[in-house]
Structure 1
Amino acid sequence: MKYVNATNVLPEELVMELQKYIQGETLYIPKEKKAHRKWGANSGARERIEKRNERMKEAFLDGASIEELASCFFLSQETVKKIVYKKKDDLYT
């Protein structure tokens, strides 16, 4: 997170108003809700994990065991169970 001096970006009147409530402290101003993106959306990690999980479910339906999948995908057996038994609608909501 990058810090910005308020006097460099805000009107003087607004800085003076903010100083009534907080002075010399760090103030976090969150993004608007509509500007938020889900985890992994920028890096593509979310998409890669979804594809991995689909491959894992397909392998499970084709007869691979939980133990085999855990070893193949380097995950714990409990994590594999959560993935293969989860309904498609429940993923990443």
Structure 2
Amino acid sequence: MRYINASAVLPEELVEKLQEFVQGEYLYIPAIKNQHRSWGELSGARQEINKRNHEILKAYILGASVEELSESFHLSTYAIRKIIYQK
């Protein structure tokens, strides 16, 4: 999350009104519900994890053991099992 100076994006009157309540502090303004993005959606991290999980599942189906996958992907055997057995 990055911070934006309110003065740079809000009208001066609104900044002055906000300063009546908060000065020199960070203020979180939540996204509108239908515009909220899931974790990793903007950075592409979610897509990378899904790709990795697909590779793990494919390797398992082709005969790789949980232990082999754990070493190859640097994950615990518990994490590998969660990926393999997820619904």
TM-score tier after normalising by the smaller chain length:
0.7 to 0.9
Gaps of 5+ in 2: none
Provide the rounded CA distance (Å) in 2 between the counterparts of 1:62 and 1:33: 42
Q: Give how far 1:19 is off.
A: 4.2
AA aligned to 2:66 is I
Match of 2:64 in 1: 64
The runs of 4+ residues in structure 1 deviating greater than 6 Å are none
* Partner-residue secondary structure (3-state), 1:59: helix
% of aligned pairs identical? 50
C-alpha change, 1:67 and 1:5, in structure 2 (3 Å) is same
TM-score (norm 2): 0.72
Gaps of 5+ in 1: 88-93
Q: Could you give the per-residue CA deviations for residues 18-41 of structure 1, whole angstroms, max 9, x where no partner exists?
A: 344334433222222222222222
Match of 1:38 in 2: 38
* Partner-residue secondary structure (3-state), 1:50: helix
TM-score (norm 1): 0.69
8 Å contact from structure 2 (residues 6, 15) kept in 1: no
Give the root-mean-square deviation of aligned CA atoms.
Answer: 2.3
Q: Give how far 1:14 is off.
A: 3.8
Q: Give how far 1:45 is off.
A: 2.2
Query: Bigger CA drift: 75-84 or 33-42?
Result: 33-42
